[in-house]
């Protein structure tokens, strides 16, 4: 499918909502929307696991939790294509190698720029880190507002969805899991 086909589809939608796609203010809108969609959905053109291929071994034997906190993201729900706006916490306990911290945020971005449900988004981030880095464990916590429940449908504002995925030592060791969740809670305090 070509870019022109996609722009034509948005002209059809503009007509369907009751607009005139030929009026001055809207004549470039299909082109702009198609460009915006390339940004929202650029995750289909990347493999987020590739961000985790550069690793560092000279950690001085560091073997405690590494936690990147409060990572903002924007995604879209696969049922309504409505925005999902939230934050992610990504932690792991290295076995030998660590990854550059920006790469954890890049993995979050890569999976967020696709149509998602939050459960799969959370799982994909955790599985990517586990499979590429092979750490002792991974913990991912995601908290997000879904515009499909605030702006339409049940129309509930101020409602968040929380999801978490624990792998390895975070699943097996309740104290470590608590330590991770305590740091998330501290960040969530108003």
Give the residue with the Cβ less far from ligand GTP, 78 or 134.
78
Pick what 99 binds: Zn ion, ligand GTP, none; C-beta below 5 to 8 Å, kind-dependent: none
- Residues engaged in binding Zn ion (CB under 5 A): 77, 79-80, 82, 148
* Residues sharing a CB contact under 8 Å with residue 82, sequence separation 6 or more, in sequence order: 76, 146, 147, 148, 151, 152
* Residues sharing a CB contact under 8 Å with residue 166, sequence separation 6 or more, in sequence order: 126, 137, 138, 139, 177
Give the residue with the Cβ less far from ligand GTP, 117 or 181.
117
Give the residue with the Cβ less far from ligand GTP, 137 or 164.
164
Give the residue with the Cβ less far from ligand GTP, 163 or 169.
163
β-pair partners for 165 = 140
Helix ranges (DSSP H) in the chain: 3-16, 29-40, 101-112, 118-133, 147-150, 169-172, 174-188
Candidates 4, 78, 119, 134; catalytic one = 78
Active site residue 169: no
Active site residue 76: no
Of 143, 104, 98, 146, nearest in space to 126 by CA: 104
Least CB distance to Zn ion at residue 69 (A): 27
Least CB distance to Zn ion at residue 41 (A): 15
* Residues sharing a CB contact under 8 Å with residue 123, sequence separation 6 or more, in sequence order: 165
Pick what 118 binds: ligand GTP, Zn ion, none; C-beta below 5 to 8 Å, kind-dependent: ligand GTP
Active site residue 77: yes
The annotated binding site is made up of 77, 80, 148
Q: Which residues are catalytic?
A: 77-80, 118, 146, 148
Residue ranges at the known binding site for Zn(2+): 77, 80, 148
């Amino acid at each position: 499918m070509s870019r022109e086909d996609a722009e034509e589809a948005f002209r059809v939608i503009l007509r369907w909502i009751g607009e005139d796609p030929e009026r001055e203010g809207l004549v470039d809108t299909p082109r702009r929307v198609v460009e915006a969609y390339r940004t929202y959905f650029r995750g289909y053109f990347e493999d987020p696991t590739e961000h985790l291929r550069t690793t560092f071994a000279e950690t001085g034997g560091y073997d405690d939790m590494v936690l990147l906190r409060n990572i903002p993201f924007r995604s879209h729900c696969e049922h309504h294509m409505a925005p999902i706006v939230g934050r992610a916490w990504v932690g792991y306990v290295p076995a030998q190698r660590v990854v550059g911290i920006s790469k954890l945020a890049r993995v979050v971005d890569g999976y967020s720029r696709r149509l998602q449900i939050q459960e799969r988004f959370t799982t994909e981030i955790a599985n990517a880190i586990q499979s590429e880095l092979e750490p002792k464990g991974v913990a991912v916590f995601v908290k997000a507002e879904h515009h499909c429940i605030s702006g339409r449908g049940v129309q509930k504002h101020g409602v968040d969805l929380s999801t978490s995925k624990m792998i390895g030592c975070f699943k097996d060791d309740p104290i470590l899991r608590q330590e991770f969740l305590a740091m998330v809670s501290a960040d969530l305090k108003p």
